[in-house]
Amino acid sequence: MRGARIAGLLIRQARLRRDWSQDGLCLGICTPSYLSKIEQGKAEPSPEVTELLLRRLGLVWIPEPEDLKPCWNALLSGSPGFFLCYEQLVLPQQERLACSPLAADILLLAAFYTDTMQPLSEEWEPFLSTRQLALQRALQGRWDEAARLEPLPLLSSLHGKALYTKGEYTTAIEVLRDAYRSAADAGYPHMMLSCRILIGNCYSDLGRMEEMMTHFSVAEHLAEALGDTDSLASLRYNTAATQLQLGQPEKALPYFSSLPHPSFLDLHKLAICHEQLGHREQALAAVQQAESLTACETERQMLALVRYRLEHADYLHDSAYGAQLLDCFRQLQETYPMGFTRFHLQWVLAWYKANRQYRQACRLLEEFPVI
């Protein structure tokens, strides 16, 4: 049984944490050589031996824990219900399950729940099932190996998301198309929805508005059928943000000005809509409202740049503005996905052009897909 083998790893980890010798731990229970085999997963101890070793280490072995299948089904299908399922099924008994045959499951599920994509330490790998090892490879970013082990739709969708985050839009679209087809074959509508949204986001960041709208239209129908209000809100935000990025503030304004409880990003883009339409007072009002919602220094800088442009007509020839702009843009590049950073590219290029810094502009354009 794989559970008995995992017990060997848990015994070894607990023994090393206490800096105990094998001889001391197994005295009166089994031989040191047998304990060595147990710890390496080369021998499967009886339930009695497992319990005695772990009890000596201060741990209680749970040989038949509650099944986590509902949680796994939610994760593998891309269901947003995964998070609630994890909180209800796993979190209340996380400590107990950490000393059970499901110990590896607990660690893997936690990695996806926290969205850290933090892989397990390599010492776990000999004790993982094929599916668990595929997920481990995905957490390590070893996508091809993960797919060879088990071609799960989840792995393709995560790979596509990772490519999108890095700005590799063309490759991301191909991977996400495959993920969408696999999710459709498996009957995973929530994963189909997330793939469509990500494909649309890729086309958005490429400036290919027509293709973006095609995928967003399909995604909107899926979201409505699923009753997914969060995805519907995301789709409408992304559409308006893309319109603004493409120089169509008059099309984006109705969305950003109609939100009952706008977020910082909503207000930031509302201010830019008004700025680009020449509505100075409305833009300043949006900036002032957004200033109370800033959560970090980068957000404060983003707002300060909008305010600076509104209050200084000759900002393109003001070195103070240029220094703030370039510093903010560097921070965005270091911290945020390329798509988010790309929204701010137009102001950096305008600064370079106004100050005849054409070489810097060309270098910057090489880093971003051309709209």
How far apart are the C-alpha atoms of 270 and 306, rounded to whole Å?
11
At residue 53, does pLDDT exceed 80?
yes
Whether the per-residue pLDDT at 369 is higher than 70: the answer is: no
Q: pLDDT digits over 78-88, tens only?
A: 999 999 999 99
**pLDDT score, position 200:** 94
Q: Is the separation of the CB atoms in 275 and 283 below 8 Å? A: yes
pLDDT at 342: 86
CA distance 31 to 151: 42
pLDDT of residue 2: 56
Candidates 242, 238, 205; CA nearest to 219 is 238
Indicate whether 225 pLDDT > 70. Answer: yes
Question: Given a cut of 80, is residue 295 above it in pLDDT?
Answer: yes
φ/ψ of 206, rounded to 5, equals: -85, -5
Is the pLDDT score of 1 beyond 50? no
Mean pLDDT, residues 168-192? 97
DSSP structural state of residue 66: P
Q: How far apart are CA 76 and CA 152, in angstroms?
A: 8
**pLDDT(358) > 90:** yes
Please count the CA atoms within 13 angstroms of the CA of 338 that sit on its side-chain side.
21
Average pLDDT over residues 103-107: 94
Q: Read off the pLDDT of each residue in 218-243 and give the average, rounded to a whole number.
A: 92
Q: Which residue has the higher pLDDT, 67 or 283?
A: 283
Using CA atoms, how far apart are residues 222 and 204, in angstroms rounded to an integer?
19
Residue 4 banded pLDDT, cuts 50, 70, 90: low
Mean pLDDT value of segment 258-279: 96
- Write down the pLDDT at residue 63: 85
Across the range 324-349, mean pLDDT stands at 91
What is residue 115's predicted lDDT score, i.e. its pLDDT? 74
Block residue for tokens 């009002």 = 285
Q: What is the DSSP string of 261-296?
A: S--HHHHHHHHHHHHHTT-HHHHHHHHHHHHTT--S
Task: Please spell the DSSP secondary structure of 126-172, one letter per residue.
Answer: GG--HHHHHHHHHHTT-HHHHHHH---HHHHHHHHHHHHHHT-HHHH
Asked if pLDDT for residue 31 goes beyond 90, the answer is yes
pLDDT at 363 over 50: yes
User: How sure is the predictor about 173, in pLDDT bands with cuts at 50, 70 and 90?
Assistant: very high
Has residue 231 got a pLDDT over 90?
yes
Name the band, by pLDDT with cuts 50, 70 and 90, for residue 365. confident
Q: What is the mean pLDDT of the chain?
A: 92
Say yes or no to pLDDT of 189 above 70: yes
- Helix and strand counts by DSSP (H, E) for the chain: 23, 0
**Cβ partners under 8 Å of residue 103, min gap 6:** 6, 9, 10, 97
